[in-house]
Homo-oligomer: A and B are copies of this chain.
C-alpha cells in the first residue's frame, strides 16, 4: 500500500467510489465503527477525542454567552410528546419505545420483556417537551428571563438508512433551549447561535458554511422558523451541519410557560432551541480528507505533532529517544491556539513507513521523523498533512520549534481555503428549470442558486425527479427579485438547491 507512490492509502479513491471511500477513511483512521446495535455506532478513541475537542470549544463559547449546562432525563413520557401537534407528527414515527422494566426467562429459557409500564416512554429524540415542562415551573416573572440552558446528551431517532456520523440512530449532541420575554429577544438569540455555529464551523472545522432559513417543508416540527448552516462535501452534496429554531410561543402554550411581565401582566414566553451533533465529524471528514485518508483541522486535532523515532541500529536507540523526548518536551511547552501543543511519540515496533502512513491516515497535521542523521544534524524530517507525502523535508530543530505554531495556523488556513474554493467552484446561478434539471441530472451537481415561488409542491417534485432538495433560503444574499424558474411567479431572492446527506 505504501511501497509504491502511485497507490493511495485508501481504497477505493474518492473518484472511484465516494461512499465507500468515506467508510474506508473512517476505518483507516480508527474513528468509529458500526456497532451490533441497529443503526448505532461505536466511537473509538481517535474519533471521540475529536468530538471532545469540538465539545470543549463550543462549550466554552456557550458559557461565555451566558448559557448554563443542565441534564434532563433520557426518557420522555408519551403524553408529553402529544402536547405539541406538529412535534408529535415529526418524531412519533421513528422513536425507540420503552415498554417494560425487566426481563424474565420464559419456559424455553429465553429472556423476554416483563413488567409492562402503564404508560410507555420514548428515548428522547430531542428535549423540547420535557424541558418545556420544567420551564413552566422555573419561570414565574420577567426576572427569571432570559433563561438560557444547554445540555450535552445522547438522543435517538430510529433512522432506517444509517451512515457513520452522518445519520445514526443514536447520536451525541448539544441541545440549547432558551426562554425570553419578547419575540424580538428570542429571534435575536436564534440568530446569535446560528452565527456562533457558522463561525465555529469555519474557524475550527475549517468548513465554510452558508447560513440560511429552511423552507416550510424542512422546518423543525413545532418551529416557526428553522435556520441552518449548510456545508458542501467533496462529492458536491450538501450537509446540514447545525440548526437553530425560533419556536415562538408554540411550546410555551403547549407546556403553559407563562411569566409576569414588568407591568404584572401574564404572558407566554418565547422560546428557541438549537443543536449540533457528532454529524459535524462526518462533515469535517468529507470536507478535507483525501485519498490517503483523514485530514484533521489542527485546531481540533487530538494530536498536533506526532514524533516518529526511526531506529535502524539498536546502539542508537537511547540517543534518538532522548532527542525525541527533548523535542516533545519543547513542543509541549509551545502554545498554539491558546493551548499547549498536543504531542505523541510513536514507539511501536513498526517500520518508519508503516508508522508514518498510520498517522497520515489518522490525519495528524504534522509528522516528524527522527533518526540518527537528524539527531546528529540537530534537525527533524518533517511531513505536513496538507501536502503530498513525498514533499517531506529536513528542517533545523530550532527553526521547526520556532515555526511550528505558525505552520499549524497555515495548515488550518490552507484547508479552509481549499474547502472554500471547492464550494465556490461548484456553485452556480441558474435561470431556468431546464438548466437546473441538466445540472443535477448529469452529475452530483453542487449548490444551485435559483428563483423559487415558495410553493412546497415544487420541492416535492424535485425530490422525486432528481433527489434534490431546497437546502436553504440564504440569509446573506442579494435581494435580487426575479421570477420562479418553475412557475414564473414573482420571487424575492434566490434559494439554494442541492443533493444532500
Contacts and interface: CB of A to CB of B under 8 A. Distances in A.
A71 B42 contact: yes
Nearest to A103: B92
Interface string A79-103: 0111000001000111111111111
A248 to B, nearest CB: 24
Nearest to A134: B42
A74 B170 contact: yes
Integer count of this chain's copies in the complex: 2
State the 5 A-B residue pairs at the shortest beta-carbon distance, nearest first: A45-B68, A40-B73, A97-B100, A43-B71, A92-B103
Given A37-B121, A42-B70, 9 more contacts: A45-B70, A45-B149, A74-B156, A92-B104, A95-B101, A97-B101, A97-B103, A97-B113, A98-B99
A98 B134 CA distance: 25
A466 to B, nearest CB: 29
Nearest to A68: B45
A80 B51 CA distance: 28
Nearest to A113: B97
A85 to B, nearest CB: 12
A129 to B, nearest CB: 10
Contacts of A170: 73-75
Interface in A39-93: 40-45, 48-49, 51-52, 68-78, 80-82, 88, 92-93
Contacts of A348: 143
9 contacts: A35-B134, A45-B68, A92-B103, A94-B101, A94-B102, A95-B101, A95-B102, A103-B120, A143-B349
Contacts of A122: 103
Contacts of A149: 45
Nearest to A153: B154
B77 A36 contact: yes
Please indicate which of the listed interface residues A76, A88, A96, A101 has the most CB atoms of chain B within 10 Å of its own CB. Answer: A101
A99 B113 contact: yes
A123 interface: yes
A41 B130 CA distance: 12
A158 interface: yes
Contact of A95 (B71, B103, B143): B103
A102 B134 contact: no
A98 B97 contact: yes
A101 B348 CA distance: 45
A172 interface: yes
Given A37-B76, A40-B73, A121-B37, A111 B45 contact: no
Contacts of A92: 102-104, 111
Please indicate which of the listed interface residues A33, A122, A172 has the most CB atoms of chain B within 10 Å of its own CB. Answer: A122
Contact of A78 (B35, B82, B111, B134): B111
Contacts of A80: 36
Contacts of A88: 111
A100 B96 CA distance: 6
Given A88-B111, A97-B113, A111-B78, A73 B103 contact: no
Contact of A52 (B44, B69, B97): B69
Interface in A231-253: none
A156 B96 CA distance: 15
